[in-house]
Chains A and B, each alone.
Chain A
Amino acid sequence: MSEPVVQATSLLTYLMAATQLLLAAGGAYMYFRWQKLRRLHDQLLQEKEVIFGFVHDVGEVFAEADMIEPDLLLKRVLFYALRTTRASAGAIYLLDRNTDELFARALSGIFPPLDHALTPSTATPVSKSRHVEQLVRSVSFARGEGMVGQVADLNTPLLIANGDVDPRVPKHEIDFLRIQSMLLVPMRFHQDVLGVLTVANRIDGQPFAQTDLNLLQALADQASAAIHYAGLRETIDEKKRIDHDLALARQIQSSLLPKELPRWRGVEIGAFNQPAQQIGGDYFDFVEIDEDHLGIAIADVSGKSIGGALLMSICRSVLRAQSAGNVHPAEVLKSLNRVMSRDISDDMFVTMLYMVYDRGAGRLKVARAGHEKPVLVDSSGQIRLVESRGTAIGMTDADTFDELLEEVEVPLGPGELLVCYTDGITEAMDGQGEEWGTERFFDACRDGSGPGARALVETIRHRLDRFVGDQPPYDDMTLLAIRRETP
């Protein structure tokens, strides 16, 4: 009988053991599940904290966003972007509307170069981080070029989970520049892409997750409006400054032009000068050398804004000093060139026509330093260009200038006219971008010469106005006409 008891006992033992095992397994399962839930809970709590932090940060970004400098605003955005994503470095690339290229405008941490060709040198005189920053700032991306260009072009965010195997990510040999993981999001305002916000490498060494990308995009979306308006304000400030410069330049320029035309017995003079808003530096002047000699100058100073205006004022004083007592225009221009070459920068020059009218002889001495050739109109309305060699002031060395400059003498018969002008007249454009041109200008000289110098200036001006329509003048326009009166 003992056998079945043993059997029954062992069966019970087995059953109990099995139950214990099951319980243990269930307990372990419950335990692990509980742990998992707890982890998830922690993670959610952490994410909640991040999101709360983020909402707070966004508030910070926009606090007084309309007051702070654009660069400071970008720095703030970057700071919060790094904090939100726990990234160790970041950059904001902005799109330059003129070149359609993206350039790094703000950097934080040691942000690795995103160009495959760029390898920072290890031997560098400046500190490593400075060197890397200079490298990153020196490279811009065209739309569609590289990761930054693609994000801007496609207007979609990009998550690089493993930089070591992703072919789009440049591989840097230097360890602290290694890109393990990256996030790139477009910054957009309405339909326009303003730039790209990007962060690299989480501090904890973990790869970035989709949540990080979403948060970064949300931050970028919020920041974009502020960046857009800051950019606008920057443009407006710059425009204000330029307008101020231009107004100042205009003021200097107009103060240098003659207030009234000289009244000379036997000579009738007509003049027209219209300054443009944008570029220009036309200058004209009359110098009464003595009883019988009148100096007439017309010039076009290259170089915008204050530089051009200052050059013009130098030009005027030097011309006035050199022309005193000298009736030879070539000599005056040569000394003018010698004096001015010293003050003139490489990219600036002056074209000038300087003439001396001899009332007694009824002749003009003409010297032309690269300026438009004067037009001689006889009493029957036939025209002829006064030819003479000469190059612009400030363009060549003084010896070459002297060698090239020629002085010619032109008799001015009774009733004959001499017309001189700047290229703003002949290059004036209509609404379709067509130039008025020398042929139309010459035609106007032929047709309008009958009644006299002032009437000719009026005719040319009238025809020019009709051609140009309501287009604002792009360049300064100056026109002078001198007529020897009939006795």
Chain B
Amino acid sequence: MRECQIKLEQVGDVDVVHLDGALDAYSFPRLEKSFGELKEQGRMRILLECSHLDYINSASLGALIGYARKAREAGGDLKLAGLSPKIMSIVELLGFDKILQIYPDSQLAISKFTHA
């Protein structure tokens, strides 16, 4: 599995986090670090762009839910876009599609953020 590459991009007041590779116990702490840095800057509108995400382990998915909750409490949100059918089926099986907001592409996802 390829190690996860994490790239940040700002689109208006939304921070798009591009994930490329596999998100697992080794790479997740780096994503957490990026979240932490965004939070320190008071930026809590985060979109995870997942069209190049090959794999995500369940523990990372669980942690994402925790971040989404924190973001919502702070008036923002954590949304997902571009999930592969395989990852989407895991997300559905675990029931997380009801907790996280998931969109087919990032453009649509960005338009769904409420703005300050």
Please list the residues of chain A having a beta carbon within 8 angstroms of any beta carbon in chain B.
302, 346-349, 351, 369-373, 389-392, 394-397, 400, 404
Asked if A391 and B98 sit within 8 Å, CB to CB, the answer is: yes
Question: In the complex, A346 Cα to B99 Cα: how many Å?
Answer: 17
Segment at the A interface, from B5-13, B48-56, B88-96, B108-116:
B88-96
Encode contact with A along B24-66: 1 for CB under 8 Å, 0 otherwise: 0100000000000000000000000000000000110111011
Number of A-B contacts (CB under 8 A): 46
Interface of A is mostly: loop
Residue interface bits B53-81, CB-to-A below 8 A is 1, else 0 = 00000110111011001000000000000
- Per-residue CB contact flags for chain B residues 17-28 toward chain A (1 = under 8 Å, else 0) read 000000001000
Given A349-B62, A392-B58, A370 and B98 contact (CB-CB distance below 8 Å): no
- A and B contact pairs by CB, cutoff 8 A, 30 listed: A302-B58, A302-B59, A346-B59, A346-B62, A346-B66, A347-B25, A347-B59, A348-B59, A349-B58, A349-B62, A351-B94, A370-B94, A371-B93, A389-B98, A390-B95, A391-B94, A391-B96, A391-B98, A391-B99, A392-B58, A392-B62, A392-B95, A394-B62, A395-B61, A395-B62, A395-B96, A396-B65, A400-B99, A404-B95, A404-B99
Complex CA–CA separation, A397 to B62 (angstroms): 11
Q: Is the CB of A395 within 8 A of B94?
A: yes
> 3 tightest CB-CB pairs across the interface, nearest first?
A391-B95, A370-B94, A347-B59
Name 14 extra pairs, CB < 8 A, besides A347-B25, A391-B98: A346-B62, A346-B63, A349-B58, A349-B59, A351-B94, A370-B93, A391-B95, A392-B94, A395-B61, A395-B65, A395-B94, A396-B65, A396-B99, A404-B95
Q: How distant is A404 from chain B, measured CB to nearest CB, in Å?
A: 5
Closest CB in chain B relative to A238 CB, distance in Å: 19
- Which residues does chain B contribute within 8 Å of A397, judged by CB atoms? 69
Measured CA separation A397–B93 after assembly (Å): 18
**In the complex, A397 Cα to B68 Cα: how many Å?**
12
Which of A347, A390, A400 counts the most B-chain CB atoms under 10 A from its CB? A347
A212 to chain B minimum Cβ distance, whole angstroms, is: 40
- Give the dominant DSSP class at B's interface: helix
List A contacts of B99 (CB < 8 A).
Answer: 391, 396, 400, 404
Cα–Cα distance between A390 and B93 once the two chains are bound (Å) = 8
Contacts of A396 in B (CB 8 A): 65, 99
- Bound together, the chains give a CA A370 to CA B61 distance in angstroms of 12
A residues in contact with B98, CB < 8 Å: 389, 391, 404
The distance from the CB of A375 to the nearest CB of chain B, in whole angstroms, is: 14
Residues from chain A with a CB closer than 8 A to the CB of B69 are 397
Pair B59/A372 contact, Cβ less than 8 Å: no
Most buried by B among A349, A369, A391, A404: A391
Which residue of A348, A372, A395 contacts B93 across the interface (Cβ within 8 Å)? A372
Q: Cα distance A372–B59 when bound, in Å?
A: 17
Most buried by B among A372, A373, A396: A396
Distance between A348 CB and nearest chain B CB, rounded to angstroms:
8
Minimum CB–CB distance for A39 against chain B, Å: 58
Closest B residue, CB atoms, query A303: B59
Whole-angstrom CA separation of A347 from B63 in the bound complex: 8
CA distance A404 to B98 in the complex (A): 7
A163 to chain B, nearest CB (A): 34
B106 to chain A, nearest CB (A): 25
**Distance A348 CA – B94 CA, assembled complex (angstroms):** 14
By beta carbon, the residue of chain A nearest B89 is A438
Determine how close the nearest CB of chain A comes to the CB of B47; give it in whole angstroms: 21
Contacts of B62 in A (CB 8 A): 346-347, 349, 392, 394-395
In whole angstroms, how far apart are the Cα atoms of A188 and B58 in the complex?
40
Output the least CB separation between B115 and chain A (Å).
Answer: 26
Contacts of A389 in B (CB 8 A): 95, 98
B102 to chain A, nearest CB (A): 14
Would you give the shortest CB distance from A182 to chain B, in whole angstroms? 33
Query: Which residues of chain B have C-beta atoms less than 8 A from A347's C-beta?
Result: 25, 59, 62
Q: What chain A residues lie within 8 Å of B94 (beta carbons)? A: 351, 370, 391-392, 395
Q: Which residue of chain A lies nearest to B66 when distances are taken between CB atoms in the complex?
A: A346
Q: Which residues of B contact A373 (CB under 8 A)?
A: 93
What residue in chain A is nearest B63 (Cβ atoms)?
A: A346
Which residues of the other chain, B, contact A390 by a CB distance below 8 angstroms? 95
Contacts of B25 in A (CB 8 A): 347
Minimal beta-carbon separation of A105 from chain B (angstroms): 21
Q: In the assembled complex, which residues on chain A have CB atoms less than 8 Å from the CB atom of B58?
A: 302, 349, 392
Smallest CB separation, B57 vs chain A (Å): 9
Set of chain B residues within 8 Å of A372, measured between Cβ atoms: 93
Q: Does B95 contact A370, Cβ atoms closer than 8 Å?
A: yes
**B96 → chain A, closest Cβ, in Å?**
6
Measured CB to CB, the closest approach of chain A to B64, in angstroms, equals 10
Closest B residue, CB atoms, query A347: B59
Q: Smallest distance from the beta carbon of B101 to chain A beta carbons, Å?
A: 14
A446 shortest CB reach to chain B, Å: 21
Contacts of A346 in B (CB 8 A): 59, 62-63, 66
CA distance A370 to B63 in the complex (A): 15
Shortest CB–CB separation between residue B61 and chain A, in angstroms? 8
**Which single residue of chain B is at the shortest CB-CB distance from A371?**
B93
Quote the shortest CB–CB distance from A300 to chain B (angstroms).
Answer: 10
Complex: A349 Cα to B69 Cα, angstroms? 18
Q: Which of B62, B65, B69, B95 has the most CB of A within 10 A?
A: B95
